[in-house]
């Protein structure tokens, strides 16, 4: 889609877990070519929102459309094939495998249970193509030289970048990142931030959940703020900094 046109639209999304509304009537849009930050205190519903968008959990009600298609009831595999990739809040790498093998995992769009199955059934030509693509993405994120090292030997900052490479193998139009900078050192955060800006400039639209306000404010084009499952505010970093409701509920000032 052309830059600036709506790519993802979340309308009145609700996710109920028993008596808890983890996501409570949230609506927002993501435009092609932007980096949108989703912020809010712990428990605000950010990861749950990611799970609704990626089809990990279906929404209780509401509508989510991606690239013009209603994905509200679509499964995770279907949504992934439409061009939406994610990373998880906690590292999901296989430390005993190489960077290349970990990156190739991003090409099996079946979820974890079906993954080993699909690896075993891959034709040799498909496997070679996937390996080639994985190597290309490792080079794109600056990890090409370590392709045959074990993922478990990487520093945390590089593991996070490896997760991005794995998500890129599916050639997504939209990349969802759940707290990619958590636990990283300052230099690692700077490196990750620079990579995400470059990917945005290369045409990847990004939705990011992140707690580090310095990083978020210097990275994103717009922000959506959640609190207790609801959308509290949205706007540019400058607008959000000045928003009194956000300052009180979230920043505590």
- Is 54 an interacting residue with respect to Mg ion (CB under 5 A)? no
- Is 86 an interacting residue with respect to ligand ADP (CB under 6 A)? no
- Is 83 an interacting residue with respect to ligand ADP (CB under 6 A)? no
Nearer to ligand ADP, 20 or 97 (CB): 20
Q: What's the closest the beta carbon of residue 58 comes to ligand ADP, in angstroms? A: 12
Q: Which of residues 75-104 bind Mg ion (CB under 5 A)?
A: 89
- Is 40 an interacting residue with respect to ligand ADP (CB under 6 A)? yes
- Is 227 an interacting residue with respect to Mg ion (CB under 5 A)? no
Nearer to Mg ion, 209 or 240 (CB): 209
Q: What's the closest the beta carbon of residue 119 comes to Mg ion, in angstroms? A: 29
Q: Which residue is nearest to Mg ion (CB)?
A: 47
Q: What's the closest the beta carbon of residue 225 comes to ligand ADP, in angstroms? A: 11
Nearer to Mg ion, 107 or 180 (CB): 180
Pick from ligand ADP, Mg ion, none: which does 9 bind, CB < 5 to 8 A by kind? none
CA separation for the pair 94, 50 (Å, rounded) = 22
CA atoms within 13 A on the CB side of 12: 3
Q: What's the closest the beta carbon of residue 131 comes to ligand ADP, in angstroms? A: 34
DSSP symbols for the chain? --TTSEEEEEEEEEEEETTEEEEEEEEEEEETT-EEEEE-STTSSHHHHHHHHHTSS--SEEEEEETTEE-TT--HHHHHHTTEEE--SS----TTSBHHHHHHHTT-TTHHHHHHHHHHT--HHHHHHHHHHHHHHHHHTT-GGGTTSBGGGS-HHHHHHHHHHHHHTT--SEEEEESTTTT--HHHHHHHHHHHHHHHHTT-EEEEE---HHHHHHH-SEEEEEETTEEEEEE-HHHHHH-HHHIIIII--
Left if phi > 0, otherwise alpha if psi is -120 to 50, otherwise beta: which for 68?
left
Q: Which of 47, 51, 227, 234 lies at the binding interface for Mg ion (CB under 5 A)?
A: 47
Give the total of residues touching ligand ADP (CB under 6 A): 11
Nearer to Mg ion, 45 or 157 (CB): 45
Which residue is it, tokens 């958590």? 182
Pick from ligand ADP, Mg ion, none: which does 160 bind, CB < 5 to 8 A by kind? none
Q: Which of residues 44-73 bind ligand ADP (CB under 6 A)?
A: 44-48
Nearer to Mg ion, 47 or 227 (CB): 47
- Is 51 an interacting residue with respect to Mg ion (CB under 5 A)? no
CA separation for the pair 53, 230 (Å, rounded) = 16
- What does the binding site for ligand ADP look like in residue numbers (CB under 6 A)? 17, 20, 22, 40, 42-48
């Amino acid at each position: 889609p052309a830059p600036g046109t709506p790519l993802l639209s979340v309308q009145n999304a609700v996710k109920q877990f028993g008596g808890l509304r983890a996501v409570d009537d949230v609506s927002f849009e993501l435009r092609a070519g932007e980096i949108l930050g989703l912020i809010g205190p712990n428990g605000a519903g950010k990861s749950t929102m990611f799970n609704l968008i990626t089809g990990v959990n279906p929404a209780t009600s509401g509508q989510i459309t991606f690239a013009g298609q209603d994905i509200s009831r679509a499964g995770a595999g279907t949504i992934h094939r439409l061009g939406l990739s994610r990373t998880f809040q906690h590292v999901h790498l296989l430390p005993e495998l190489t960077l290349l093998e970990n990156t190739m995992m991003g090409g099996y769009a079946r979820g974890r249970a079906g993954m080993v199955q699909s690896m075993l059934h891959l034709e040799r030509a498909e496997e070679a193509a996937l390996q080639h693509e994985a190597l290309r993405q490792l080079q794109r994120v600056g990890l090409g030289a370590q392709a045959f090292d074990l993922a478990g030997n990487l520093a945390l900052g590089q593991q996070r970048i490896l997760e991005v490479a794995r998500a890129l193998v599916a050639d997504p139009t939209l990349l969802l990142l759940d707290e990619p900078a958590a636990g990283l050192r300052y230099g690692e955060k700077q490196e990750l931030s620079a990579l995400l800006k470059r990917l945005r400039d290369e045409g990847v639209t990004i939705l990011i959940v992140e707690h580090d306000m310095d990083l978020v404010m210097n990275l994103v084009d717009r922000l959506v703020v959640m609190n207790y499952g609801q959308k509290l505010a949205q706007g540019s970093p400058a607008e959000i900094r000045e928003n009194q409701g956000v300052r009180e509920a979230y920043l505590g000032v």
